Structure 1
Amino acid sequence: MIRFNSDYTEGCHPAILERLAATNMEQTPGYGEDVYCAAAAEQIKEACAAPEAAVHFLVGGTQTNVTVISAALRHYQGVITAVTGHINVHETGALESCGHKCLTIETADGKLTAEQIAAYTDAHYADASFEHTVQPKMVYISNPTEIGTIYKKAELEAIYDVCKERGLYLFLDGARLGYGLTCRENDLTLADVAALTDVFYIGGTKVGALFGEAVVITNEELKRDFRYNMKQRGGMLAKGRLLGIQFLTLFEEKRYFEISAHASRLAEKIHDELKDMGVKFYVDSPSNQQFVILPDAVLEKLKDDFAFEYQARVDDTHSAVRICTCWATKEENVEALLAALRGLLR
């Protein structure tokens, strides 16, 4: 079985395993106060061109989203998100169980626009009874989005400007950030992301690490007491060095970007060759997630050899599935998939 259903089916980059083994019997302080976390934080700040940023390491994406958002908001405040946003659809109401409402906006492509954010916020305060409804205080976006689309620099600039004008924090979920930054349509850098958000995170779980996300905070208000919130939300890992070692290994020698680019190149190969075969796409995604529409009969014949993530029913005889590449995807597995589809679609 060749799995294209997600981007975290493999373990981690071999260099991380080697380093974890080499440092296994070292004694270090706990809770992220070790030399490896400190060195990894410096590597990340340098890559972000943000020397004053605060960098913290957490274990997983849902935990990171809940910790960041609940740390930023008061109990009567909520977070604006696309209706397809991960915090709204794929985290079992984790954020709302902490008392913060997802304030959803319908989007055509999974991306929020500056105009939508302005309109939503302005409408809240234009209502005479605004104090009876949840106050918007943060905007949540992800790059890539839940459906693989990416933000361009001009879009992120416009969103950040609106957030500053209306007193909103901007939080970018970067669970797949490496794949967004290395796809061919991207015009953002990591430094741009740091400069145009209040807080974001660099995903490791989906991009080469065994587990872990690196939170980067540039807004001074949000830096204060963040570790208290980490501890309260179960995010302060006792053996914190396990996270520091992984991110240090990923960011040394630009390994994070190199392995992300590998996934992006293979996703682009799948996209281009399927397009040449006449395959239609459910979403026009430039990133490592490709959403393709295939006949049910073809999917039935592929199911014993390839795994995909079901996305949606398109019509009586066609379904949309997600094909994911990742840092560990083998070129020969991509070739096997394409060869199988050529034969079945001929």
Structure 2
Amino acid sequence: MITKDLFERKELRQLVRDFTRNEIVPHLAEWERDGEVPRELHKKAAEIGLLAIGFSDGDLLDSVVLTEEIIQAGGSSGLIAALFTHGIAIPHIWQSENEDLIERFAKPAIRGEKIGSLAVTEPGAGSDVANIQTRAVRHGDHYLVNGTKTFITSGCRADFVTTAVRTGEPGYQGISLLVIEDGFTRRKLDKMGWHCSDTAELHFDDVRVPAENLVGEENAGFVQIMRQFQVERITMAVEAYATAQRALDLTVEWTRNRETFGKPLIKRQVVGHKLAEMAQKIDLARTYTREIAARVNRGEDVITEVCFAKNAAVQACGEVVDAAVQLHGGMGYMRESEVERHYRDARILGIGGGASEVMTELAARRLGFA
């Protein structure tokens, strides 16, 4: 694996770019219609080492490069959510150092043989993780699980679900993580965007789960979840500015080729200025997020700064994709236009991984403002 500076890692960038253009872009519209990506894509990504990045190979900065290049080569944040769901499903397992769980779940996911998902959100508890109600009661060598999870990425296709359950008293100290393989029902959910990424509601009714599927210690799940939120939020910030960059690139090309009243759109001052403003927003978000990603990678305590990075990148992305659709005119509103997909997909980035309002509240508290 390449271990150069974040701005370099040229071999990794080229590898990801080629994979995206050859294996993803020609089929993405079809997968959007199908509502999921094929399992074969997981195996192809694993064969060239992409699914191992951040686990058995590479680090967070390599993951940043991976995310940037997939989107900027014509992929999408929805594609990343579908293909790299193991990025949120197995970190807790990997860090538990439980060899049995690693062999049964983490390694098969990295090899593209199994699809994992993470189930935290419930109908009555999203960002408020400490309030989850899905309960797991220990009975000898197994737990009985009852409750409902919703908005679960890859929940329809998942072979296993790393699930946040309540094993103790109310509050954050009573939460554990269990890997659940079967015995529950699934309902596919329809969404505004991320159409190629299946999303499900999961219902557990006295689901029997082996006690050996407990990740880490009982009632220590909250800390495990919070620790991984930092990486998830940085990743979503990268998805945001990378999406914005792709939308800008498409818009520059469009305005160069689109003529109105005898000259290209880009020659209009109002258009040129708008493009410059879009580029400025992206560059500021990208520069800041990359710096915070490097600090997270070094193990620094930058929870506040991660909140800032996610919110800043999401805001920049929202403004840029909106402007991109506007500058494309009627074509920007058509499903055949790539910017239309990015416009829809971008909306979830300010909700997933902690809503923008939650990020602001968390930052305010850590700064002593609330």
What TM bracket, shorter-length normalisation?
Answer: under 0.3
Q: RCO greater where, 1 or 2, for CA within 8 Å and sep 6 or more?
A: 1
TM-score normalised by length of structure 1: 0.22
TM-score using structure 2 length: 0.21
